[in-house]
Amino acid sequence: MPAAGAGAGIADRRWTAAYKQELRDSRVLGTRTLATALAAMDDPPRVFVSGSAIGYYGDTGDRRTDEDAPAGTGFLPELCVAWEDAATPAQDAGVRTVFARTGLVVAGSGGAWGRLFPLFRLGLGGRIGDGSQYWSFISLRDHVAALRHVLATEELSGPVNLTAPEPVTNREATAVMGHVLRRPTLCTVPAPALRIALGEFAEDVLGSQRIVPRRLLDSGFAFTDPRIGDAVRAALAS
């Protein structure tokens, strides 16, 4: 049961033309190579889980968005479309293929949240922009459990959103982080400063994604950490 999900870090560097190409190639080329190899096998695996992201949908504002929504516009949606298209050889060969569209994974280290925890512990945490943008999160243990569920559930194929049932605004997430860590959250990152620091990527950080995991829920998956407070406490406990 192969899985593909490697790739250069979205937020590791400023988005120059060269780095955007690296982001694309590191996802698309590896996925296409693996999918092509599976298609050529005499006895291919029953399922292929290919990494993707809720960046597929672009900025959805405050609209609750599930797997039926079309791709958004901009670099990240275009990247996700190309990434998912790279799995076509496996699909055409009859391998059940799932696109795991992952949200913000709440973990004690690594990823976006791994960068937030040290700042909040120092009392330097705060909202980003006006804080009204939705963040679609999932705890690390729910993310792992959801991937196992996808592997075992034969009726699931195509896109599956790996996010908790109730997205929260950045302002709400900030308040929970401050409460759980018992630290002030008075610092803010103004949108203009973020654009100077991050360039094009800032628009995605400031964008809103209210993504819901309809297909996971419909297939019977039960979340251990459905609320943001649950996810933050689970990350700290691990």
Structural domains of the chain ordered from first start: 3-237 (3.40.50.720)
Q: How far apart are CA 57 and CA 30, in angstroms?
A: 22
Tokens 């096998």, residue located: 41
Q: How far apart are CA 131 and CA 151, in angstroms?
A: 36
Q: Which of 14-23, 80-89, 110-119 has the lowest mean pLDDT?
A: 110-119
Q: Residues 167-202: pLDDT tens digits?
A: 999 999 999 999 999 999 999 988 887 677 567 767
Q: Is 93 helix (H, G, I), strand (E, B) or coil?
A: coil
Q: Residues 33-81: pLDDT tens digits?
A: 999 999 999 999 999 999 999 999 999 999 999 999 999 999 999 999 9
pLDDT at position 114 is 86
pLDDT exceeds 70 at position 4: no
pLDDT exceeds 50 at position 1: no
The mean of the pLDDT values for the chain is 92
Q: How far apart are CA 63 and CA 29, in angstroms?
A: 33
H or E element: which one contains 106?
strand 104-106
DSSP output for 154-207: TT--EEEEES-SS-EEHHHHHHHHHHHHT------B-HHHHHHHHTTHHHHHHS
Share of the chain above pLDDT 90, in %: 79
Average the pLDDT over 86-92 and give the result. 97
Average the pLDDT over 96-116 and give the result. 92
Sign of CA dihedral 122, 123, 125, 129: negative
Q: Specify whether the CB–CB gap between 234 and 140 falls below 8 A.
A: yes
Taking the chain, what is the end-to-end CA distance rounded to the nearest angstrom?
A: 27
> Amino acid letter at 14?
R
pLDDT exceeds 90 at position 235: yes
pLDDT exceeds 50 at position 131: yes
